[in-house]
């Protein structure tokens, strides 16, 4: 049995047009989930690095990290970061809503302008 290089395969592009698997709302939901997957992956890697470095240098053990309880200021700062995180994840939905609110000309005006060209 041949071992597959999933990382190399994940970078390949499909040929042709981007497929639409579901309706717009489902595609948007998939986009949000994938944004979350990316965010969580980066966070897990960075957290693992920090914990290993702190533990290896004897600065802080993993048990101390698990036992930590944030104070009021840390809670506030985490809240600010959480809001920014949610904004990044919901960016696609926000852009879609902004596009719907944009003042587009009615179709007949666009057709008339094209005919005049």
What tens digit of pLDDT does each residue of 99-111 get?
777 777 777 877 8
Question: Do the beta carbons of residue 117 and residue 64 sit within 8 Å?
Answer: no
Half-sphere exposure of 108 (CA within 13 A, CB side): 0
Three-state DSSP class for 17? coil
Has residue 115 been placed in a domain? no
What tens digit of pLDDT does each residue of 65-104 get?
889 999 999 999 999 988 988 888 788 778 777 777 777 7
Question: For the chain, how many structural domains are there in total?
Answer: 1
Question: Is pLDDT larger for residue 11 or for residue 30?
Answer: 30
Has residue 50 been placed in a domain? yes
Has residue 7 been placed in a domain? no
Single out the residue of 32, 5, 33 nearest to residue 91, CA to CA.
Answer: 32
Q: CB under 8 Å to 54, separation ≥6 — which residues?
A: 60, 61, 65
Has residue 85 been placed in a domain? yes
**Sign of torsion over alpha carbons 87, 93, 97, 102:** positive
pTM listed for this prediction: 0.48
Has residue 12 been placed in a domain? no
Q: State the residue range of the domain holding 30.
A: 22-102
């Amino acid at each position: 049995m041949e071992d597959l290089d999933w990382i190399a395969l994940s970078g390949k592009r499909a040929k042709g047009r981007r497929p639409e698997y579901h309706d717009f709302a489902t595609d948007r939901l998939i986009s949000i989930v994938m944004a979350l997957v990316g965010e969580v992956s980066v966070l897990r890697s960075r957290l693992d690095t920090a914990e290993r470095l702190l533990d290896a240098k004897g600065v802080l053990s993993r048990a101390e990290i698990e036992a930590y309880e944030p104070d009021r200021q840390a809670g506030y700062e985490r809240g600010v970061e959480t809001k920014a995180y949610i904004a990044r994840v919901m960016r696609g939905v926000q852009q879609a809503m902004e596009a719907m609110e944009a003042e587009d000309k009615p179709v007949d005006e666009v057709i008339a302008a094209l005919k005049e060209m």
